[in-house]
Amino acid sequence: MKVLVAVKRVVDYNVKIRVKSDNTGVETANVKMSMNPFDEIGVEEAVRLKEAGKATEIVAVSMGPQACQETIRTALAMGADRGILVLTDAELQPLAVAKILKVLCDKEQPGLVILGKQAIDDDCNQTGQMLAALLDWPQATFASKLELGVSDARVTREIDGGLETITVTLPAVLTTDLRLNEPRYASLPNIMKAKKKPIDTVDPASLGVDVAPRLSTLKVNEPAKRQAGVKVATVADLVAKLKTEAKVI
């Protein structure tokens, strides 16, 4: 079975985000970039499926500028077999990404598509669901455990009330949650081997996909700074402040 994994290049999760001076977006110039952490979990799960003999090939897909090749190389170093880079400088929103993945799925015919449940830059949490709708495939979102069968998959999902276990028929779309696994570090030999693995480059036009944004960002602001807390000496002082200052009681 072939597994297709989508990986996104985002600002590294350790970097303190700064808003551009003109409030048009987040500053990305001279900022460390890395693979979206939820996508790392997706790559790790695909590699584990291959190591267990349940997957035969792992294809890593990324979309964006040429620098996204680095993200694909990271996936290849973790254990993916080949990569596909959809080269574009356009702002890619979830619907456009889902449409591109739909075309690639039609071409590659994977048995399972794995995506992170959300990207840490836009936090949309939409692409996996949109892709499942476009493909008319079953979806298992927020997966914390995956048991793959011959023609179906048993998935434990993270939901508001706890855990939910469902069975979906293959092919299907899976989105990963944090508890699914812990991604491995790519070893130096595997990083060197990844440089020789193939990466195909295509563009949205050749796939017949219109990636024009449907939404426009009006303004980006940093969160308002919170006032520092104060210590009170007695319960009576606390109650007084809640009544007179906070006015919550």
Question: Phi-psi region for residue 64, left (φ > 0), alpha (ψ -120 to 50) or beta?
Answer: left
For the residues 136-154, what does the mean pLDDT come to? 94
For the chain, percent of residues with pLDDT exceeding 70: 100
In angstroms, the Cα distances linking 223 to 5, 88, 220, 230 are: 33, 31, 10, 21
- The CATH number linked to 185 is 3.40.50.620
Give me the pLDDT at residue 127, please.
95
Buried b (16+ CB within 10 A) or exposed e, 166-193: eebebbbbbbbbeebbebeebeeeeeee
CA 195 to the chain's CA centroid: 23
Residue 222: pLDDT band with limits 50, 70, 90: confident
For the residues 19-28, what does the mean pLDDT come to? 87
Whether pLDDT at 23 is above 90: no
Q: Is 205 within a domain?
A: yes
Pair of tokens at residue 103: 């075309």
Residue 215: pLDDT band with limits 50, 70, 90: confident
CA dist., res. 141 & res. 136, Å (int): 15
For the chain, percent of residues with pLDDT exceeding 90: 76
Go through the chain and tell me how many residues it has. Answer: 249
Taking Cα atoms as reference points, which of 112, 161, 100, 99 lies closest to residue 138? 112
Q: Is 169 within a domain?
A: yes
CA dist., res. 171 & res. 27, Å (int): 39
Q: Quote the number of domains for the chain.
A: 1
DSSP-derived letter for residue 109 is -
Q: Is 244 within a domain?
A: no
Give me the pLDDT at residue 88, please.
93
Pair of tokens at residue 119: 């990207």
Domain that includes residue 121, residue range:
2-219
Q: Is 229 within a domain?
A: no
Taking Cα atoms as reference points, which of 102, 83, 73 lies closest to residue 204? 102
For residue 18, which phi and psi values (nearest 5 degrees)? -125, 135
Give me the pLDDT at residue 246, please.
81
Q: Is 230 within a domain?
A: no
Q: Is 238 within a domain?
A: no
Q: Is 233 within a domain?
A: no
CA dist., res. 84 & res. 207, Å (int): 12
Q: Is 213 within a domain?
A: yes
- The runs of H, that is alpha helices, within 52-160 are 68-78, 94-108, 127-135
Give me the pLDDT at residue 223, please.
85
**Do 184 and 78 touch, CB atoms closer than 8 A?**
yes
Q: Rounded to two decimals, what is the model's pTM?
A: 0.85
